[in-house]
Structure 1
Amino acid sequence: MTTKASEPEIDAEDSDFKPLTAEQARQLREANPEPSPWWVIAAQVVVGLLVAGIAWMWTGRLGAGVSALYGAMAVAIPAALFVRGAMRGSQAGNQSAAMLRFFVWELIKLGLTVAFLAAAPWVVGSLSWLALLAGVVAAIKMYWVALVVRPRLLNRI
């Protein structure tokens, strides 16, 4: 024995959804603008400079400050290349190409970050691994800060 839902019950589930008019959609987009990913890159650079200054002042060694800054830049520079590459041609309507471009640039970003970190002993004189790690962690945490802080800043504007 099969049971079939009556037509009014199915319509009741669908009636909750009301599509937006063109004007309502425009107002919604204006009220919630798409944030630029470039401010996250800027935040990574700023926090890298801040951590570098703290490391330099705390240890009294310029090498610690340079190591922390290098660690932050090992995250920020590949991220900037990722944003530039992934956003290029983003207005095109092909979602498959956009996803492929995203994943390719993400792999490039990860590879460059690993290459920067692997080259650190040769690039940075008197390398401090702890300061380098502090710079990397601080820069990576800016992604999480962006998720928390950015919506609040947009609501104030």
Structure 2
Amino acid sequence: MSDSSDMKQSTTDWGADEDGEAPFKSLTREEASALRALHPSLSPWRIVAAQAVAGLLVVAVAWWLVGSVGVTVSALYGAAAVVLPTALLAHGMTRPYGAGSGAAAFSFVLWEFVKIGLTVAMLVAAAWVVPDLSWPALLVSMVVCMKVNWLALLWRGRVTTTRS
């Protein structure tokens, strides 16, 4: 393999071109379907639903442990301060957008700023909206709802879906 032509032949045998980069190969319809089946996409609405379920569980635990209306409503408001902005983001991201990845990136950044702004506005308004506000209950329910995102991503690799 001291000859340069032998080296070129050995690199092309491994699937790389003369520059050392792997060549681009278009997938057939069957190969693309198999790849999608192997790596299913996760709907943002499932994340919203998982956050809502987690928030309701925190509210139920707060009601069961403390039994105070103020703590329970605070936990509910904390869950809403995460779930509602996330639902707005999911709505914005699932709408059709302009052509190209630049438009998709801009859309994501725009809706993420809207989500953050709504969350901050809801937190500022919490003192006036929630009677007998309990900040610990509100913050605990927010943290639990936010952490559901990570659990959903971990769960994504374990769930298989069948599509017809």
What is residue 19 of structure 2 aligned with on the other side?
none
What is the identity, as a one-letter code, of the residue corresponding to 1:40? I
Specify the alignment match of 2:91 in structure 1: 84
How many residues matched?
A: 153
5+ residue gaps, structure 1, are none
Aligned to 1:150: 156
Q: How does 1:44-123 map to 2 (within 5 A)?
A: 44-90=51-97, 92-123=98-129
Quick check: which one's helix share is greater? 1
Contact 1:56–1:63, Cα closer than 8 Å, also in 2: no
Please, which moves more after superposition, 51-60 or 102-111? 51-60
Question: What amino acid is the match of 1:61?
Answer: S
TM-score by length of 1: 0.86
Change over 3 Å in CA distance of 1:156–1:66 after alignment to 2: farther
Q: Is the 8 A contact 1:76 1:139 kept in 2?
A: yes
Structure 2: which 5+ runs fail to align? Answer: 17-21
Contact kept? 2:40, 2:161, Cα under 8 Å: no
What's the Cα RMSD here? 2.4
Indicate the residue corresponding to 2:9 in structure 1. Answer: 8
Instruction: Give the TM-score, by structure 2 length.
Output: 0.82
The percentage of counterpart residues that share the same residue type is 43
AA of the residue aligned to 1:76:
V
Alignment-mate amino acid for residue 43 of structure 1 = A
In 2, distance between residues paired with 1:58 and 1:100? 44
Amino acid at match of 1:14: G
Query: In structure 2, what residue type is equivalent to 1:81?
Result: L
